[in-house]
Amino acid sequence: MSLKDAARAVRENAYVPYSRYKVGAAIRTPSGAVHVGCNVENVAYPEGTCAEAGAIAAMCAAGETRIAEAYVVADAAEPVPPCGGCRQKLAEFAGADVKITLATMDGTEKVMTVAELLPGAFARDHMDRA
């Protein structure tokens, strides 16, 4: 299954009773495995958790810690970038040159690198003197 198909399929599982705004994400690891996530809201945290964070959690639960590429889809007029927290999570598990495809349900896609999504990302080497 392609990342696009996986992200579109898992998007349908989003639990969004407050916003009704479904987002799906799929990531491929260097091993070729695909992990998916969708956004989840709750009454105490109506903004919910993000699809990208869910896919990264699934990847880690499967014992992998590197992202080779990612695909994120939402029903919007233009491709929607990940929130700041998810950008940092992507930067933690993916190299700066890893491609992230942002897409709409209408088929519009925008491909960006992690570095373009989060220039100046905080990284491990920032803690070398700690």
Q: Which residues fall within 8 angstroms of residue 56, CB to CB, at 6 or more apart?
A: 27, 35, 37, 67, 89, 90, 93
pLDDT value for 82: 92
Rounded to the nearest 10 degrees, what angle do helices 51-61 and 84-93 cross at? Answer: 30
Indicate the class that CATH gives domain 3-127: alpha beta
- Which of 12, 52, 64, 116 is an active site residue? 52
Q: Is 12 annotated as a binding residue?
A: no
Tell me the pLDDT band of 121, cut-offs 50, 70 and 90.
Answer: confident
Which pTM value belongs to this model? 0.92
User: Domain extents for the chain?
Assistant: 3-127
Q: What are phi and psi of 32, to 5 degrees?
A: 100, -5
Per-residue pLDDT of 17-41, as tens digits, reads 999 999 999 999 999 999 999 999 9
Q: Considering only 11-20, 36-45, 68-77, which range has the smallest mean pLDDT? A: 36-45
Q: Is 39 annotated as a binding residue?
A: yes
Q: Is 34 annotated as a binding residue?
A: no
Q: Is 41 annotated as a binding residue?
A: yes
Q: Is 13 annotated as a binding residue?
A: no
- 47 catalytic, yes or no? no
